[in-house]
Structure 1
Amino acid sequence: MQKNPKPCINTGEFARLCNTNKRTLFHYDAIGLFRPAFVDENGYRYYSENQCDLFFTIRCLQEIGMPLSEIRQYIDHRSPEALRQLLEQQKEKVRQEQEKLRRIEQVIDTKLSLVALSRQPRVQGQIGRVGLEEMPEEYLVLSPPINTGEHD
């Protein structure tokens, strides 16, 4: 049996360490994004603990919406300049997303204040004051007289 000279952990342990699941690791391996440090003759995958940093980088980029194909391209051609460009692009995307969320929050706040306003009683004019206004005759509407002895 072939032994790996570097200390490694199995797929399940690496998945727990990185707060993910084994299927994610299998998928990343299948698409060539993140390969195990060692695969034994039985096909068992093993990862070194120093791969955690790369895995977390992949997950962070994915979390902010970067497609796996672009992440793979970056991983395949890593350099300080490529990292700088990538981070600037992603920072701009995050800024745009924050602006979008800020606008959504503003709409929600406006709707909440309208709902609160609709629950307050509205009073037209002044209460307790009686006034008399003269109007032209065409605006005058008369009802028939009420001739009844019931005051209910």
Structure 2
Amino acid sequence: MERAEDNGKRMAAALDQLLTSSNEPTVSGESSIFRIPSILSKHNKEAYLPNAFSFGPWHHDECNLQPTKALKINYLNGLLGRFPDRSAKLLELVCAVRNKNDLARQSYAGKISLSDDELVKILVLDGCFITEFFLKNSNAEGYFQPYQ
């Protein structure tokens, strides 16, 4: 009869082997953005796919989202128009995001296959869109007014 300690060691070794041989992408302790597990989307894949906007690198190039990319560009233009030196502000934003590029990549559970330049471009565009959206939809006191 196997002793409990020997059984525990055998099970721990089997689990350790599972951890080291897994082909699944690793999730760092910094990850906070995850893909939907396939078991959830199994019954209705469309329920988990963006149909108007996407934010971040995972769905940015899908054909059905290209019309809203133009809207994001317009909002970026509007946000930059709030500053006296648009070019300087854009450079500041790009540099700020570029300095956080590694942290941004670590935030995603799984590999981001985009170049650093492409990821920065997407994050600046999306971040500026969200910022300008809230600015456009807030009143003078800064309270959010629901989109109408």
TM-score range, shorter chain: under 0.3
- The alignment's TM-score, normalised by the length of structure 2, stands at 0.23
Higher strand share: 1
- The alignment's TM-score, normalised by the length of structure 1, stands at 0.23
Q: Point out which structure has higher relative CO (alpha carbons under 8 A, 6+ apart).
A: 2
Higher helix share: 2
